[in-house]
């Protein structure tokens, strides 16, 4: 079963990721033509640091010194970026930030009835987080960005630790850390006021602990800590159940242990993940802050699925589907029934050719933007004078080229049988990718949504190489 699942996933991804590579390449060509040139300043900067790393490795610098250097470099380029742009919260993030002031004044009606955060209660913790930062900091926006910088830098180190557990070659793991340090998406998003910046570090931490357990480097009790850390990350970006399912599937198929061991391991993950969620949820409700469960609001999740089936917008947000709930005055069951009927109609009354095109385009465009929408969320609604490093006009081609290289290497790694058949941990990453790919095929699609697992394309490109690079 283990080998069969690995081969099945591998064959599926060879088709799916090839489509992503083609679209990513097409977008790169489009950006080069539109912006007329590739930004040579970025190319020069990262070429110099790449050469410096090559020299450091060749001269035999200690791994510790190299890692410290990469960490400092990762921190400084993120800090330089957030200080170079006077970014402001926009769209949902603007709403969360503005309404966090109401929370500080003891006004919790925004979390009740059919108000936005009652309809989508998974945004509750980010609102409370913004309120906390506004309470303790005289410069809350700057503080939020600095926290993003610190969290993103920590993520660089955890990527190294994960790579070290997956690959045997020390040089390969060093390059993995360097890729994490210069990865455009994780740099760019530090200037955006989205809590994925925090969530990612917790997601990575849980993956690292899970890997330590499955390699027998830590006892299975550490899965309690892995589940707890993942649960914390889930508060900041509530899509972690996909990770839980990936952990469970990997445990059942790939871990060579007794049935009892697997049962206890799965129980540890579920208990540690669910208890904090239930506890925080109950505390918020008992204190009159929220009315609905954090995972189930006053609007049916079928409205998100409905938006995800819109053929005109290729599953993106659209006003037509967004107004369905309002058409039924917020009635949960009537909205759900209408949404289901529309979803059924779209899938059954659309020609197979058109449906296939829709699904292919929705999937590829979810995973083909090199910054996962980061530049848009960072530079939107600000004046040119507030931007020192203008990535929107001068960095689009560069970040897309970087991502294209990562995707090509990821695809090449699918043909490295040494990895996906003999190094089973790689399949955990593939399972995670497939899980989120399926989630965003079912629900509403946005470039930002896949940012939560953008770190996969830091580690997976390393599978393209043999143990020595």
pLDDT, tens digit, 9 for 90 and up, residues 240-260: 999 999 999 999 999 989 999
Task: Give the angle subtended at the CA of 443 by the CAs of 438 and 447, to the nearest 5°.
Answer: 85
Q: How far apart are the first and last CA of the chain?
A: 32
Six-digit token string for 308:
């995800």
Q: Are 186 and 455 in contact (CB under 8 A)?
A: yes
Per-residue pLDDT at 289? 93
Is pLDDT of 421 > 80?
no
Per-residue pLDDT at 58? 87
Closest-CA residue to 243 (of 409, 453, 59) = 453
Closest-CA residue to 159 (of 375, 395, 454) = 454
Average pLDDT for 348-368: 94
Task: Compute and round to an integer the Cα radius of gyration of the chain.
Answer: 22
Is pLDDT of 467 > 70?
no
- Cα distances (Å, whole numbers) of residue 277 to 129, 271, 274: 16, 10, 5
Flag the least confident range among 306-310, 420-424, 445-449.
420-424
Average pLDDT for 417-438: 89
Per-residue pLDDT at 270? 97
Q: Give the chain's mean pLDDT.
A: 92
Average pLDDT for 402-431: 90
Burial of 376 (0-12, 13-18, 19+ CB in 10 A): middle
Is pLDDT of 391 > 90?
no
| Interior/surface letters 63-73, b for 16+ CB within 10 angstroms, e for the rest | eeebbebbbeb
How far apart, in whole angstroms, are the C-alpha atoms of residue 358 and residue 364? 10
> Within the chain, how many helices (H) and strands (E) appear?
24, 0
How far apart, in whole angstroms, are the C-alpha atoms of residue 177 and residue 78? 15
How far apart, in whole angstroms, are the C-alpha atoms of residue 338 and residue 119? 17
Q: How much of the chain exceeds pLDDT 70, in percent?
A: 98
Per-residue pLDDT at 409? 96
Query: Which residue matches tokens 């009652």?
Result: 118
Closest-CA residue to 71 (of 48, 44, 53) = 53
Average pLDDT for 282-296: 94
Q: How much of the chain exceeds pLDDT 90, in percent?
A: 74
Quickly state the pLDDT bin for 38 (edges 50, 70, 90). Answer: low
Per DSSP, the residues of 217-249 read SS-TTHHHHHHHHHHHHHHHSS-THHHHHHHHH
Return the biggest CA–CA distance within the chain: 69
Quickly state the pLDDT bin for 469 (edges 50, 70, 90). Answer: very low
Quickly state the pLDDT bin for 468 (edges 50, 70, 90). Answer: low
DSSP-derived letter for residue 1 is -
Per-residue pLDDT at 437? 96
How many beta carbons lie within 10 A of that of residue 382, not counting itself? Answer: 14
Q: Are 98 and 183 in contact (CB under 8 A)?
A: no
Quickly state the pLDDT bin for 397 (edges 50, 70, 90). Answer: confident
Closest-CA residue to 143 (of 156, 132, 157) = 132
Average pLDDT for 125-137: 95
Q: Are 290 and 116 in contact (CB under 8 A)?
A: no
Average pLDDT for 382-397: 83
| Interior/surface letters 339-375, b for 16+ CB within 10 angstroms, e for the rest | beebbeebeeeeeeeebeebeeebbbbbbbbbbbbbb
Six-digit token string for 251:
């445990």
How far apart, in whole angstroms, are the C-alpha atoms of residue 364 and residue 22? 9
Output the pTM of the full model.
Answer: 0.94
Per-residue pLDDT at 327? 85
How far apart, in whole angstroms, are the C-alpha atoms of residue 235 and residue 232? 5
CA atoms within 13 A on the CB side of 451: 30
Is pLDDT of 213 > 70?
yes
Quickly state the pLDDT bin for 414 (edges 50, 70, 90). Answer: very high
Query: 293 in helix, strand or coil?
Result: strand
pLDDT, tens digit, 9 for 90 and up, residues 44-80: 888 899 999 999 988 888 889 999 999 999 999 999 9
Q: Which of the pair, 218 or 380, is modelled with greater confidence?
A: 218
């Amino acid at each position: 079963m283990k080998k069969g699942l690995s081969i099945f996933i591998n064959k599926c991804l060879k088709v799916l990721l090839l489509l992503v590579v083609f679209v990513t390449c097409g977008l790169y060509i489009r950006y080069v033509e539109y912006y007329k040139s590739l930004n040579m300043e970025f190319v020069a900067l990262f070429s110099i640091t790449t050469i410096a790393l090559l020299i450091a490795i060749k001269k035999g610098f200690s791994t510790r010194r190299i890692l410290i250097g990469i960490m400092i470099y990762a921190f400084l380029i993120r800090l330089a970026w957030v200080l170079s742009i006077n970014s402001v919260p926009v769209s949902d993030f603007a709403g969360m930030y503005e309404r966090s002031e109401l929370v500080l004044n003891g006004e919790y009606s925004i979390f009740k009835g059919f108000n936005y955060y009652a309809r989508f209660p998974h945004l509750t913790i980010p609102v409370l987080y913004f309120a906390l930062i506004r309470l303790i900091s005289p410069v809350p926006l700057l503080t939020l960005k600095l926290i993003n910088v610190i969290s993103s830098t920590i993520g660089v180190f955890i990527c190294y630790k994960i790579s070290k557990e997956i690959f045997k070659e020390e040089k390969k793991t060093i390059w993995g850390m360097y890729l994490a340090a210069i990865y455009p998406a994780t740099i760019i998003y530090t200037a955006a006021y989205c809590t994925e910046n925090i969530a990612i570090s917790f997601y990575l931490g849980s993956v690292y602990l899970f890997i330590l357990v499955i390699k027998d480097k830590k006892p299975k009790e550490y899965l309690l800590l892995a589940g707890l850390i993942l649960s914390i990350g889930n508060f900041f970006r509530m899509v972690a159940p996909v990770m839980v399912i990936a952990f469970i599937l990997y445990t059942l198929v790939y871990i060579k242990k007794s049935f009892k061991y697997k049962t206890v391991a799965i129980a540890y993950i579920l208990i540690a993940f669910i208890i904090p969620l239930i506890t925080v949820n109950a505390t918020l409700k008992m204190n009159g802050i929220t009315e609905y469960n954090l995972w189930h609001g006053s609007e049916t999740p079928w409205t998100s699925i409905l938006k995800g089936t819109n053929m005109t917008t290729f599953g993106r947000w659209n006003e037509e589907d967004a107004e369905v709930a309002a058409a039924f005055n917020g009635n949960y069951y009537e909205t759900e029934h209408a949404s289901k009927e529309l979803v059924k109609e779209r899938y059954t009354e659309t020609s197979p050719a058109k449906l296939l095109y829709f699904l292919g385009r929705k999937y590829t465009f979810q995973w083909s933007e090199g910054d996962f929408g980061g530049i848009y969320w960072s530079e939107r609604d600000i004046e040119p004078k507030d931007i020192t490093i203008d990535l929107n006009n001068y960095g689009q081609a560069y970040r897309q080229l970087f991502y294209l290289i990562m995707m090509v290497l990821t695809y090449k790694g699918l043909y490295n049988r040494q990895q996906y058949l003999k190094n089973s941990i790689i399949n955990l990453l593939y399972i995670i990718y497939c899980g989120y790919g399926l989630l965003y095929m079912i629900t509403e699609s946005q470039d930002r949504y896949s940012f939560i697992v953008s770190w996969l394309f830091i580690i997976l490109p390393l599978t393209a190489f043999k143990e020595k690079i």
